[in-house]
Amino acid sequence: MNLPVILDVSLGLIFIYLILSLLASEIQELITTVFQWRAEHLRKSIELFIAGGSQNSEETNVVELANQIYSNPLIKSLNQQAKGFFANIPRQVTWSVASVYRSLKQNPESNQKQESVFGDSRHSGPSYIPASTFATTFMETLQLPTIAQKLSETRLDTFKNQRLSEIESIVLKLQEQLGDNEEFADFFNFIYQAFAELQADFEQIIWDFQQGRLDIDGGIDRMTASYDRYIALFQSQIPNEESANKALQQLQFYKNNSFADTQRTISLAGLKPNVREIAQAVQRGTDIYQELTTSLLDKDNEMYENLEKIIDRLPPSLANNITNLAQRAELNLQQTTEGINTLHNVIATNFDNSMERASGVYKRNAKGVALLLGFAIAAASNADTFHMISRLSKDSALRETIVQNAGQIVSQNRNQLNYVDINTLRSQTDEALTEVALPIGWTDSNLEKQISWSTKQRRQFPYWRIITLIPGWILSGIAISMGASFWFDLLGKIVNVRNSGKVPEPSNKNNNV
């Protein structure tokens, strides 16, 4: 055969593979949709992420935590479903088929409910979850932002008590030094009244912070202003006594030492928990856990009970994983005051990396399914590669018809070679098939050339000769599993070679003078 004939045979073979690949992709997409493989694989991948590996991924607390994540409104909103009775009929059918499939696949010894693949009473789930959405949901489920807020509240309250205690001790010491002299009675009444106002200001600041109306920076700034106001009132009424002047100096010293700079005050008092402290708050036995629970027992029993429930449900491997993520985050953290945001970003990044690995596993599994489908389609359609090559090389009319139709399809999609709409390509090939009798199928003409038998003959079908077709089916099956996009791209390249290069694209420039 000369080169043009070889190119035409190659074009014909690729065109047939393209058509069969389109059929395979449609069947695979249908199976994937019915059995919800993408959504189920994502769910299992999340369980692996939570458990830190496959060894503990089926534990009850891992499944329950995944159920909680899937019940979050952010995740539920990703799984859009049709509304209305008739619109939901196809959905109900696929759910029923998928339920039967999972019941057959489920381990009989497992206590896990069949419907809990996507959470209790849910039949489906999202096929994709953005990393940022997962990180937010994950942290909300573990209440890490709330824990960070409670740590800040606890420490701000402790900081407030320490400052008030310092002021009170100075005033009491001064009163002890000046004695019960009635000359200073008005001064001390005034100072205690001012101290009560300062204490009320501090308590209001704590309350506003707890209600979310004030952040740490604003709280420290307001405390500083209240402290300055108290010192100013103290100074305005100070008696002409050396001990009173020393008390004023002490007040100013404590104030400058505690409130010299807002960010320095926040950092020294640990008012914004760093990422390591947030991670340690959900691990029993750590100093941060003891600090938080001791405070919650005194002031917020409900939050304490919630924290204990979270830790009880938390898989040990996940607690360790959060600690490892926190340590990794601290290496990249320039300011430890942004711990909760940094932990969110690290969880999102780690989730992205985990999903990339899961995507690789899914693609390998999908490739295996594509191979099985390819072999099945090749056998069902009697797509024998060796027979197709023989027919194409001998039948010039068939070659010409296929080449003409293949060229038209490539020409219609010439500007979309990098991205082709599979649905459009499928409709174009369907139109082409009305004009082409492909050398595939269990027709008399094909069987007579393949195994020298047809339905017109009175002898029994030679089943043993099917063995001679199997090698050709295997090659076709492998080719079909390569995918429609692969064969369309190759088809475009062969057409360009056959036509001695790519047709120049028309110029869009305006040549008018």
pLDDT digits (tens, 9 = 90+) for 187-202: 999 999 999 999 999 9
Mean pLDDT within 330-359? 74
Secondary structure (H, E, C), 155-176 = HHHHHHHHHHHHHHHHHHHHHH
- pLDDT level of residue 330 (50, 70, 90 thresholds): low
Which of 17, 1, 10, 18 lies closest to 498, judged by CA? 10
pLDDT at 321: 77
Cα distances (Å, whole numbers) of residue 360 to 80, 365, 367 = 26, 9, 10
> Does residue 504 have a pLDDT over 90?
no
pLDDT at 229: 95
- pLDDT level of residue 336 (50, 70, 90 thresholds): very low
pLDDT at 169: 94
Give the residue with greater pLDDT, 401 vs 498.
401
Mean pLDDT within 436-459? 81
pLDDT at 245: 92
pLDDT at 115: 44
pLDDT digits (tens, 9 = 90+) for 245-270: 999 999 999 999 989 888 888 888 88
Mean pLDDT within 412-417? 62
> Does residue 221 have a pLDDT over 90?
yes
**For residue 366, what are its two tokens?**
């999908």
Q: Of 296-310, 391-405, 470-484, which one has max mean pLDDT? A: 470-484
- pLDDT level of residue 173 (50, 70, 90 thresholds): very high
Domains of the chain (ranges; CATH) run 35-140 (no CATH), 144-269 (1.20.140)
pLDDT at 513: 32
pLDDT digits (tens, 9 = 90+) for 125-141: 788 889 998 988 888 88
pLDDT at 475: 95
pLDDT digits (tens, 9 = 90+) for 487-503: 888 888 888 877 754 44
Amino acid at 83: K
- pLDDT level of residue 304 (50, 70, 90 thresholds): confident
Read out DSSP for 85-140? HHHHHHHHHHHHHHHHHHHHHS-TT--S-GGGGGSTT-----S---HHHHHHHHHH
**Phi-psi category of 170—alpha, beta or left, where left has phi over 0 and alpha has psi -120 to 50?**
alpha
CA 251 from centre of chain: 53
pLDDT digits (tens, 9 = 90+) for 37-64: 888 888 888 888 888 776 777 778 888 8
Burial of 422 (0-12, 13-18, 19+ CB in 10 A): middle
Tell me the pTM: 0.69
